[in-house]
Amino acid sequence: MKTFEYITPETIDEALELLGEGAQILAGGTDLLGEMKRGLATPKRLINLKGIQGLADIRSIPDGFLTIGSLATLSHLAEHPLVAQHYPLLIEALQRTASPQIRNIATVGGNLCQRPRCWYYRHSAFPCIRKHGEGCFAMGGQDRYHAIFGGHRCFIVHPSDLAPALMALDAEVRIAHADDSRIVPLTDFFVGPRDSLTQENILTRQEILTAIRIPVPPDNAYGTYLKVSERKATDFALASVAVSIAWLDTQVTHARVVLGGVAPVPWRVKQVEEMLIGDELSGKRIERACERAVDDATPLRHNRYKVALVKGLLRKALHAAHRSREKGEK
Ligand SMILES: Cc1cc2nc3c(=O)[nH]c(=O)nc-3n(C[C@H](O)[C@H](O)[C@H](O)COP(=O)(O)OP(=O)(O)OC[C@H]3O[C@@H](n4cnc5c(N)ncnc54)[C@H](O)[C@@H]3O)c2cc1C
């Protein structure tokens, strides 16, 4: 590991002043420290956010949003009574994220900003395009964990379980900058390889993700997060699906469908959302939705199985939604 400066600012303004070339933000460190040990990240200055008061707070505000400080740990979020009350979909995603030990340290902001888990990217022997090298070693190589949607010269998948769940809940992120702080829908936060081959989100070197805001779901909403991984405990998604559906009587009035583990960004399938709205959630419609969800899939040599996984997960999630409506559950 290379030597670096380590600073713990006490305010966001102080942290913003310290940012710039060679500086990097440290939250829980469960991803970044691994990257540093492997020489993938070589910051000259580490800015430890843990000295900033209030950055880990979770609170509801009168206009109906839940605001989650970016430094809140995954465990803290999972145990929060407002999350249990309004966002069971998020609890399901949190319970399937990493291990309890990691969830005690990993933060929500860090989870959204974590780097890819592609084994070529993580291995120092492969100078891939995401490390300013040339080409994608997964193309024509060992590609079974890689993207079936949205790949372009690079076929990483976004590793976060929280991201698809939060996106299905219409979350927004608050980004602090010395002169121009902004709130951005989570759907606009992530960038795929067509926009950048070296970063996975829109943050510049002068910015810090400070909070995530989630609106209260619509009335009669049902949400679920389903994930398939190779191992049951502590494993990243081979594929996952976050679904949020609301009804008026029997008619679907609101639908969000977001896939994880299958694309370089959390993959929102708007064409499925659109076909679900305005009708009943019948078995036939569910089958059509599952087919439509994989319309744009372009599997690589060894990951065609992900197409079947996506269809299976979506089918299960939509049937669960249908059953919950019939039972009048939330
Ligand atoms: C064994 C293992 C299993 C795992 N399994 C899963 C899993 O199943 N599902 C899953 O979703 N994740 C999984 N993870 C990943 C884990 O969830 C992330 O490492 C963690 O959430 C990152 O949060 P952190 O606070 O530790 O971030 P850090 O490691 O501190 O930071 C991660 C990155 O985000 C940047 N960053 C952090 N906070 C901010 C901020 N506020 N603003 C701007 N940039 C920021 C850092 O500079 C760094 O680049 C696993 C990790 C391990 C080690």
Q: Are 77 and 68 in contact (CB under 8 A)?
A: yes
For 289-293, the CB contacts below 8 A with 24+ separation are 289/257, 289/314, 289/318, 290/314, 290/315, 290/318, 293/257, 293/259, 293/269
Which residue, of 181, 200, 215, is where some domain finishes? 215
Q: Are 295 and 313 in contact (CB under 8 A)?
A: no
Return the pLDDT at 28. 98
Residue with the smallest CA separation from ligand 1 atom 19 is 31
**Mean pLDDT, residues 70-86 taken together:** 95
**Mean pLDDT, residues 310-314 taken together:** 98
* Token pair of 273 as six digits: 């959302």
Query: What's the 120 CA to ligand 1 centre distance in angstroms?
Result: 19
68 lines ligand 1 (CB under 6 A): no
The answer on 295 and 191 residing in a single domain is: no
Return the pLDDT at 1. 67
CATH number for position 70: 3.30.465.10
Which residues make beta-bridge pairs with 238? Answer: none
Query: What's the 256 CA to ligand 1 centre distance in angstroms?
Result: 25
The answer on 192 and 209 residing in a single domain is: yes
107 lines ligand 1 (CB under 6 A): yes
Residue with the smallest CA separation from ligand 1 atom 37 is 110
**Mean pLDDT, residues 299-317 taken together:** 98
The answer on 163 and 84 residing in a single domain is: yes
**Total domains present in the chain:** 2
Question: In this structure, is residue 258 part of a structural domain?
Answer: yes
Task: Report the percentage of the chain scoring pLDDT > 90.
Answer: 89
Question: In this structure, is residue 291 part of a structural domain?
Answer: yes
The answer on 286 and 272 residing in a single domain is: yes
Which residue, of 215, 243, 259, is where some domain finishes? 215
pLDDT digits (tens, 9 = 90+) for 231-288: 877 899 999 999 999 999 999 999 999 999 999 999 999 999 999 999 999 999 999 9
The answer on 286 and 239 residing in a single domain is: yes
Ligand 1 atom at minimal distance to the Cα of residue 107: 25
Average pLDDT, the chain: 95
Q: Is the pLDDT of residue 64 over 90?
A: no
Return the pLDDT at 207. 97
Confidence of residue 66 (pLDDT cuts 50, 70, 90): very high
The answer on 71 and 198 residing in a single domain is: yes
Q: Is the pLDDT of residue 329 over 60?
A: no
Question: In this structure, is residue 69 part of a structural domain?
Answer: yes
70 lines ligand 1 (CB under 6 A): yes
Return the pLDDT at 63. 74
* Token pair of 64 as six digits: 């109906």
Q: Is the pLDDT of residue 128 over 60?
A: yes
187 lines ligand 1 (CB under 6 A): no
**Mean pLDDT, residues 121-144 taken together:** 94
The answer on 285 and 240 residing in a single domain is: yes
Integer CA distances (angstroms), 308 to 92, 224, 313, in order: 22, 19, 9
**262-284 CB burial, b ≥16 within 10 A, e <16:** bbbbbbbbeebbebbeeeebeee
Query: What's the 215 CA to ligand 1 centre distance in angstroms?
Result: 24
Q: Is the pLDDT of residue 60 over 70?
A: yes
Strand order in the sheet with 172-177: 58-60, 65-69, 207-215, 172-177, 182-185
Which residues make beta-bridge pairs with 211? Answer: 69, 174
The answer on 201 and 67 residing in a single domain is: yes
Domain range enclosing 163:
54-113+157-215
Residue with the smallest CA separation from ligand 1 atom 9 is 97
pTM score, two decimals?
Answer: 0.97
52 lines ligand 1 (CB under 6 A): no
The answer on 161 and 101 residing in a single domain is: yes
Give the closest residue to 326 by CA, choosing from 290, 280, 286.
280
244 lines ligand 1 (CB under 6 A): no
43 lines ligand 1 (CB under 6 A): no
Give the closest residue to 164 by CA, choosing from 149, 186, 144.
186
Pocket test for ligand 1, best of 26, 31, 107, 229 (most atoms within 8 A of CB): 31
The answer on 208 and 242 residing in a single domain is: no
Query: What's the 143 CA to ligand 1 centre distance in angstroms?
Result: 23
Q: What would the 3-class secondary structure string for 230-281 be?
A: CCCCCCCCCEEEEEEEEEECCEEEEEEEEEECCCCCCEECHHHHHHHCCCCC
Measured between its terminal Cα atoms, the distance across the chain in Å is: 50
What contacts 252, CB < 8 A, 6 or more positions away?
245, 246, 276, 277, 278, 279, 280, 281
E strand or H helix at 210, and its extent? strand 207-215
Q: Are 119 and 155 in contact (CB under 8 A)?
A: no
Question: In this structure, is residue 39 part of a structural domain?
Answer: no
Query: What's the 72 CA to ligand 1 centre distance in angstroms?
Result: 12
pLDDT digits (tens, 9 = 90+) for 1-36: 689 999 999 999 999 999 988 999 999 999 999 999
303 lines ligand 1 (CB under 6 A): no
The answer on 62 and 203 residing in a single domain is: yes
45-48 and 23-26 as β-strands: parallel, antiparallel, unpaired?
A: parallel
Instruction: Tell me what percent of the chain is helix, strand and coil, each rounded to the nearest 5.
Output: 30, 20, 45
Return the pLDDT at 330. 46
Question: In this structure, is residue 47 part of a structural domain?
Answer: no
Q: Are 117 and 159 in contact (CB under 8 A)?
A: yes
29 lines ligand 1 (CB under 6 A): yes
* Token pair of 294 as six digits: 């994989």
Distance CA 318, CA 254 (A): 13
The answer on 279 and 210 residing in a single domain is: no
Return the pLDDT at 217. 87
Query: What's the 247 CA to ligand 1 centre distance in angstroms?
Result: 35
Integer CA distances (angstroms), 84 to 28, 58, 94, in order: 23, 13, 11
